[in-house]
């Protein structure tokens, strides 16, 4: 099973609630905005992919040998090490639910979400300030906002600039993608020149393939240790590089405990 689909298939793909090289994606943090132009072949300027990663701890990556998914998109066989870590905490979460232990249920839910493979979307536009393409790594919900606007204004995309922005924080982060009313907010001469420069330029969807960083099980295991997970708990052996701290039987021993995970990242 491929980790990603590109172009019109990605544009039209369903956004079930459940990559790439972090260095390559354009930053779109909360409080940031871009004035952009939509590519002429805008349905080709999209990618749907799945990856793992923990913000500020482990850069995003995809499995070289992806797990087999069920109809709901969740791993059911041929589990990767990260899938196995997710299952470990999911099983503990369900046990806590059965025992009506709300505190442990919440803790294990957060931990399962850290290691779970997530569905993401990539989308490309032209940055009107620089005159170069920008590529954003966004959630399915955020992609839905963009796709709805593109479909709504499809007949006039060649003449309308847009502003893409993020506001809020955590699970309250909101992405907006709105047409710019140029009669009220005119483009600068530079922005207009960059807009016009791309009148007949089409996006090359093969560019997205370079964003995918795929690694094997051995590297995934190293990254689990880096993230603080005790891989002995899922039957694996921790790397023995010089200076590597030995694993213990405490799943929180080196990981610093649970982190906040927004609801969109969780399957439960």
pLDDT at residue 40, rounded to an integer: 94
Of residues 81 and 3, more confidence is placed in 81
Over residues 139-153, mean pLDDT:
96
The answer for residues whose C-beta is within 8 angstroms of residue 74's C-beta and 6 or more apart is 18, 267
- Per-residue pLDDT, averaged over 105-117, amounts to 96
| pTM of the entire predicted model | 0.74
pLDDT of residue 2: 58
Residue pLDDT, tens place only, 6-51: 566 656 655 443 333 334 689 999 999 999 999 999 999 999 998 9
Q: How far apart are CA 156 and CA 38, in angstroms?
A: 10
Per-residue DSSP letters for 237-268? -----TTPPPP-S-TTTTT-S-----GGG---
Quick count: other Cβ atoms within 10 Å of Cβ 165? 17
Backbone angles phi, psi at 62, to 5 degrees: -120, 155
Q: How far apart are CA 127 and CA 202, in angstroms?
A: 14
Across the chain, what does the average pLDDT equal?
A: 84
More confident of the two residues 17 and 168:
168
Element (H, E) at 144: helix 140-152
Which pLDDT tens digit goes with each residue over 231-260?
Answer: 999 999 988 754 444 444 444 433 333 333
pLDDT of residue 74: 83
Domains by residue range for the chain, with CATH:
4-265 (3.90.198)
């Amino acid at each position: 099973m491929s980790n990603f689909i590109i172009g019109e298939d990605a544009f039209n793909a369903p956004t079930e609630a459940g990559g790439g090289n972090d260095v390559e994606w354009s930053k779109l943090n909360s409080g940031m905005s871009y004035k952009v132009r939509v590519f002429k072949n805008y349905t080709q300027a999209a990618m749907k992919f799945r990856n793992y990663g923990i913000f500020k701890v482990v850069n995003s990556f995809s499995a070289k040998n992806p797990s087999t998914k069920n109809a709901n998109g969740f791993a059911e066989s041929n589990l990767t090490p990260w899938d196995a870590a997710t299952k470990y905490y999911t099983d503990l979460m369900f046990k806590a639910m059965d025992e009506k232990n709300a505190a442990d249920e919440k803790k294990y839910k957060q931990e399962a979400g850290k290691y779970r493979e997530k569905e993401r979307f990539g989308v490309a536009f032209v940055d009107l300030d620089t005159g170069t393409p920008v590529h954003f790594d966004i959630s399915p919900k955020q992609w839905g906002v963009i796709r709805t606007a593109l479909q709504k204004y499809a007949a006039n995309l060649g003449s309308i600039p847009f502003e893409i922005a993020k506001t809020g924080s955590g699970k309250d982060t909101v992405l907006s993608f709105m047409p710019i009313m140029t009669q009220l907010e005119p483009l600068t001469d530079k922005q207009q020149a960059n807009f016009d420069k791309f009148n007949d330029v089409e996006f090359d969807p093969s560019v997205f393939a370079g964003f995918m960083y795929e690694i094997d099980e051995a590297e995934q295991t190293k990254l689990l240790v880096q993230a603080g997970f005790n891989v002995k708990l899922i039957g694996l052996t921790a790397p023995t590089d010089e200076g590597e701290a030995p694993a213990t039987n405490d799943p929180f021993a080196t990981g610093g405990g649970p982190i906040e995970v927004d609801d969109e990242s969780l399957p439960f």
